[in-house]
Structure 1
């Protein structure tokens, strides 16, 4: 079950690579970030940000994900560290990123962060027609009817 749930999460994340991310020790609110995904790096996500962004200092971080269809949810714990590998920056560079950094890859305010995930919790929602009817009519929906949940998916 864990492997299937992990694959379902990454598939949903690939379709909508946006995550709310916050530093654990900073006390600030989470903010939306666009993840740069790599199919070969299962426990790592990259982000382009500016050096003055509140998460740019790095450290322990928590991220929350909700799939586009609201059928997959995840909470990811890990550590944000600066990515200095120019090949990695080049690999993930795109027109969308360039829109935020008009001076390109050499923008003095550009910083890439690597999110090294060490723990995750994932939920899926699979109500189906009968479960949706029960919910809409105020009937009890049992947890066994909701979907799957797993921890430690890294």
Structure 2
């Protein structure tokens, strides 16, 4: 994520990383702890993450929320702010339902609720340390800012 990357390029990188490892820590801003959840992406709604849960899950009541994401190789990090609400569109529910989701709900779709996390802002970090920075990590030395990761703040991810 270089300084010249557009918000669309940054969003595309984030969405690709989430597809590779679809797990976030998410929690409402009500004082309860965050919990790990599996997220789904609807290509037509890139500013939203979808999360199946039980009807009594702590995020099911909805409200302002924060989610944190770490890429598989610990090379990409995101902190997302937004709002959780119930997704009421049955077509979206049916489209995102699959065998991996069904495994968590013994009584099928009746036990599940689809939550929608609408992202209002995000901070994204990509840890792409240069070759010279990696050598300094191995043999000692101070990594210059130009050799380390990049950071972006965006109003939304699309």
Query: TM-score normalized by structure 2?
Result: 0.90
Deviates more, 1:12-21 or 1:144-153: 144-153
Confirm or deny: 8 A CA contact 2:132 2:147 kept in the other structure: no
Which residue is equivalent to 1:20?
A: 25
Query: TM-score normalized by structure 1?
Result: 0.92
Q: Distance in 1 between matches of 2:24 and 2:153?
A: 18
* Segments ≥4 residues shifted beyond 4 Å: none
Q: Distance in 1 between matches of 2:140 and 2:83?
A: 41
Residue deviations 1:49-72, cap 9 Å, x none? 011111111100000000001111
Confirm or deny: 8 A CA contact 1:76 1:119 kept in the other structure: yes
Shift of 1:152: 1.7
Give SS of 1:115's match: strand
Which residue is equivalent to 2:43?
A: 39
Identify unmatched segments of 5+ residues in structure 2: none
Describe how 1:96-107 pairs up with structure 2 within 5 A: 96-107=100-111
Shift of 1:153: 4.5
Q: Does 1:125 align with 2:127?
A: yes
The CA RMSD over aligned residues, in Å, is 1.3
Shift of 1:5: 2.1
Q: Distance in 2 between matches of 1:24 and 1:138?
A: 41
Identify unmatched segments of 5+ residues in structure 1: none
Shift of 1:19: 0.5
Aligned residues: 151
Q: Distance in 2 between matches of 1:151 and 1:23?
A: 21
